[in-house]
Amino acid sequence: MNELSSQPLPQRTRPGAVLAATILLVISGVLGLVGITLLTFLLEDTSPADLVLLLVVPGVASVANLILAVLLFRGVSWARITLIVLIIANIVLTIISALVDPSGICLSLVFNIVLLVLLFREDVKDWCYPY
């Protein structure tokens, strides 16, 4: 056995920004699933195509948020990159939708910008790329 393989890996401390981003993503995922559940009670006479747009797409996004939150918490690098891409796409879509109906856009935009800032922090990057 060589000397390098016998050395234990250094203990890493999870940055607070990773924990904050994880908590925000879990809150987003849970609120999305609760919203979808409540929405199903309100939709009675809806076409199947509309149901896909109103229930399946947000449901998949909410579950993806929860999965990516756990992977980010564990330090998986591609989860961080995926989250950055998805959040940037969400910011762009939020801005485009604000041109049509500006009500309620501010909270979504602030939430996504805060997440993006957290994910671009150097300590979060180091957590996901330790070596």
pLDDT of residue 3: 54
Instruction: Indicate yes or no: pTM above 0.85.
Output: no
Q: What is the pLDDT of residues 96-130, one digit of tens each?
A: 888 887 776 788 899 999 999 999 999 999 999 87
Q: What is the pLDDT of residues 19-70, one digit of tens each?
A: 999 999 999 999 989 988 888 777 777 777 777 777 888 889 999 999 999 9
Residue 91's domain comprises: 16-128
Q: Is residue 69 part of a domain?
A: yes
Long-range contacts, 9-17 (Cβ 8 Å, 24+): 12/75, 12/127, 12/130, 14/73, 14/75, 14/127, 15/121, 15/123, 15/124, 15/126, 15/127, 17/118, 17/121, 17/123, 17/124
Q: Structural domain tally of the chain?
A: 1
Q: Is residue 2 part of a domain?
A: no
Q: Is residue 7 part of a domain?
A: no
